[in-house]
């Protein structure tokens, strides 16, 4: 295989995703989310570049692959600005439809709504991340990503065409975007758009992303350091917040999702909080 590979090659112990493939049409991501993990394993993480001869090689991969959902993308955003002209992700969707592969899209970009014609004509679930409705806070967390209101409009546009949409409220960072009243406002908005699932997880600290988070939220740096470097749990070298705190944050969000009757799941937390049938929305591919 050239570009298609099995999702989660590291067999992360807390991952509950059904088996699927993963593909990234682009390398690098321009959103520069301060909490991002790719900076620990991708050189020049914030420079978007196309993969060489992507569509031709991807088609070859698909011809050899088993029929399984394809997740796009997990180490970048499949809709960087350049996709507007390049249309590589759109080309990948056309191939997936032609070869009969269901697709799970993960993005923070409203450009995904451009492809609603294809997405509505094949088994697809689009996961759009929204970590807050507060534009100023979003600008600090995801400085170069489209603001939350554009992402909400994209959800509306996809839903109009009957595309299934999950929203990832992810990550929740203690003391930053976990206020229950703000989360309730967000979930209420998502409910009015008839979002099909909410997926969430808590922030995990790695040296480089922690430096960025602590640098932007200086007034919370000491509090976060204590949570992630003194009271933390360690899973495969990744610093998690203590289990009780993670449970409290995510249970509070689950309760709000229940209030609005939206199926809920957590991602890589090892906590029994799911009401949705799959953690990544893939069950909706077959509904």
User: In a 3-state reduction of DSSP, which class is residue 200?
Assistant: strand
Give the number of residues in contact with ligand SF4, rule: CB under 6 A: 9
In the list 76, 127, 196, 282, the residue contacting ligand SF4 (rule: CB under 6 A) is 76
- Of 127 and 232, CB closest to ligand SF4: 127
38-67 binders of ligand SF4 (CB under 6 A): 38
Residue pair 143/32 in contact (Cβ under 8 Å)? The answer is: yes
Which window, 4-12, 31-39, 57-65, 174-182, contacts ligand SF4 (CB under 6 A)? 31-39
Q: Does 33 engage in binding with ligand SF4 (CB under 6 A)?
A: yes
Closest CA to 163 of 109, 108, 103: 103
Q: Does 164 engage in binding with ligand SF4 (CB under 6 A)?
A: no
Residue pair 186/192 in contact (Cβ under 8 Å)? The answer is: no
- Of 123 and 280, CB closest to ligand SF4: 280
Q: Does 77 engage in binding with ligand SF4 (CB under 6 A)?
A: yes
Which window, 33-41, 85-93, 188-196, 211-219, contacts ligand SF4 (CB under 6 A)? 33-41
Distances (CA, A) of 12 to 56, 90, 238: 31, 30, 11
CA gap 190, 201 in Å, rounded:
17
Which window, 24-32, 52-60, 89-97, 117-125, contacts ligand SF4 (CB under 6 A)? 24-32
Helix (H) or strand (E) holding 172: strand 164-172
Smallest distance, ligand SF4 to C-beta of residue 196, A: 21
Q: Does 108 engage in binding with ligand SF4 (CB under 6 A)?
A: yes
Helix (H) or strand (E) holding 182: helix 180-192
Q: Does 285 engage in binding with ligand SF4 (CB under 6 A)?
A: no
Smallest distance, ligand SF4 to C-beta of residue 128, A: 11
Residue pair 136/180 in contact (Cβ under 8 Å)? The answer is: no
In the list 4, 17, 23, 36, the residue contacting ligand SF4 (rule: CB under 6 A) is 36
Q: How many other C-beta atoms lie within 10 A of the C-beta of residue 30?
A: 18
CA gap 75, 90 in Å, rounded:
18
CA contacts within 13 A on the Cβ side of 180? 11
Which window, 14-22, 25-33, 160-168, 226-234, contacts ligand SF4 (CB under 6 A)? 25-33
Closest CA to 186 of 126, 256, 245, 251: 256
Q: Which residues bind ligand SF4 (CB under 6 A)?
A: 29, 31-33, 36, 38, 76-77, 108
């Amino acid at each position: 295989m050239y570009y298609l590979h099995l999702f989660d090659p590291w067999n992360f112990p807390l991952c509950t995703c059904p088996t699927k493939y993963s593909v990234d049409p682009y390398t690098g991501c321009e959103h520069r989310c301060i909490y991002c993990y790719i900076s620990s394993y991708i050189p020049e993480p914030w420079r978007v570049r196309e993969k060489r001869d992507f569509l031709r090689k991807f088609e070859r991969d698909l011809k050899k692959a088993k029929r399984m959902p394809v997740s796009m993308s997990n180490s970048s955003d499949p809709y960087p600005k350049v996709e507007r002209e390049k249309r590589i992700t759109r080309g990948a969707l056309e191939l997936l439809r032609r070869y009969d592969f269901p697709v799970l899209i993960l993005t923070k970009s409203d450009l995904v709504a451009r492809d609603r014609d294809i997405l509505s004509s094949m088994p697809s679930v689009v996961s759009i991340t929204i970590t807050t409705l507060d534009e100023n806070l979003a600008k600090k967390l995801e400085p170069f990503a489209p603001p939350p209101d554009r992402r909400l409009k994209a959800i509306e546009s996809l839903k109009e065409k009957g595309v299934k949409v999950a929203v990832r409220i992810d990550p929740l960072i203690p003391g930053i975007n976990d206020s229950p009243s703000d989360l309730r406002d967000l979930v209420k908005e998502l409910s009015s758009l008839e979002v099909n699932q909410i997926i969430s997880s808590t922030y995990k600290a790695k040296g480089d992303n922690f430096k960025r988070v602590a640098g932007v939220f200086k007034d919370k740096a000491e509090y976060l350091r204590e949570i992630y470097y003194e009271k933390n749990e360690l899973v495969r070298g990744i610093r998690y917040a203590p289990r009780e705190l993670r449970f409290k944050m995510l249970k509070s969000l689950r309760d709000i999702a229940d209030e609005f009757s939206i199926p809920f799941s957590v991602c890589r937390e090892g906590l029994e909080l799911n009401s949705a049938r799959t953690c990544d929305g893939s069950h909706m591919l077959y509904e």
